[in-house]
Amino acid sequence: MIATFAKFFIGLTLAVTLAGTALAQDSYHIRGTVTGFNGDNIVSVAAGDGAGIDVRLKHRAKVFTVVPGTIDEIAQGVFVGIASIESGGERTALEVHILDERLRGRGEGHYPWTLVEEENMMTHATVAEIASVDNGQRLTLTYEDGPRSDRRDASQTITVPRDVPVVRLMPAERQDLIAGETIFLIAYDVENVGPMTPAIVVGRNGLAPPM
């Protein structure tokens, strides 16, 4: 996982990906390590550059966790999130998270992401077809695209090498925000308050969210 954070301006963010609601504010990703949690609504994070950040959890903010998964758990019909890059007209996965069935449909779509410096995208979609390729799988993913008033079927084909990180993403509780665990979250700045997040993913037992 890249332990840095970078601002970027997109209309569809992790608030859509995980919390299911869009943010009007400019937003940015934070990747780092939990250094403290007040048990209520403020989590302290050490970012990749060593800076300490106190992030306030929005009212009803969603907390998620990841547990180890395998490429063999990627099956037809499951709902996944895949960060990928394009090269030579083909998309290749950088990581895969298999969403718990309770999270089906969260953040559905194909939109810019910040996992690496190279241009990359996040795709949240249903696995429609799986084909075996050398050292991995080639997935056909289907999703609804466009504004809610005019959503249309779309698809992406992404190759998943066998050695890319695969995790299962599932709901968690605020008490899972334990010092020493790695987190990934979306934040936006609120005047006179500071960074606030509607959704946060925390690792478990040393596993870092690879997103």
Domains along the chain with CATH numbers? 6-66+169-202 (2.40.50.320), 67-168 (no CATH)
Torsion sign over Cα 25, 30, 35, 40: positive
The pLDDT tens digits of the residues spanning 5-38 come to 333 323 333 444 443 433 445 888 999 999 999 8
**pLDDT (0 to 100) of residue 6:** 34
Quick check: 43 and 177 in contact, CB under 8 A?
Answer: yes
For the stretch 110-148, pLDDT in tens is 999 999 999 999 999 999 999 999 989 999 999 987 766
Closest CA to 197 of 38, 21, 49: 21
Give the tens place of pLDDT for each residue, 42-69: 999 998 777 899 999 998 899 999 999 9
Decide if pLDDT at 4 tops 60: no
pLDDT (0 to 100) of residue 107:
87
CB 109 within 8 A of CB 145: yes
